[in-house]
Amino acid sequence: MNATKPTRDWYPFVGPFDPCPPKYVKSYYVPPNELIPYQPMNLPQFSLPEALRLGTLWPALYGPYEARSSMRGQQSDE
């Protein structure tokens, strides 16, 4: 599977008469829980302070999200 990249890309139809500058690639996010059918025992763990900060004890379930096109400021998408 795509272990390095948590997003999947797809290529929407781009018409010859699109009113706005088209996006050629769109992507959606696949969280790590989708890739683990049933969580195995004894997975590696974060340190406890780190786990409290990140929201999960297990790196395998850690799926961070960054703002896509930064709302305020630059306009790079993904």
Partner 1 sequence: MWIYEKKLQYPVRVSKCDPRVARYLVEQYGGADGELSAALRYLNQRYSIPNKVIGLLTDIGTEEFAHLEMIATMIYKLTKDATPQQMEEAGLGPNYVIHDNGLFYNNSSGVPWTAAYIQAKGDPLADLYEDIAAEEKARATYQWIIDMTDDVDLQDGLKFLREREIVHAMRFKEAVEIIKADQGTRKIF
Where do contacts with partner 1 occur on this chain (CB under 8 A)? Answer: 12, 15, 17-23, 68-69, 71-72, 75, 77
* DSSP string across 50-66: HHHHHT-S-GGG-----
To partner 1, the closest distance from the beta carbon of 41 in angstroms equals 37
CA distance 22 to 1: 29
To partner 1, the closest distance from the beta carbon of 8 in angstroms equals 15
Chain-centroid distance, C-alpha 74: 20
Residue 59 or residue 63: which is nearer to partner 1 going by CB? 63
Residue 5 or residue 68: which is nearer to partner 1 going by CB? 68
Residue 15 or residue 49: which is nearer to partner 1 going by CB? 15
CB 8 within 8 A of CB 28: yes
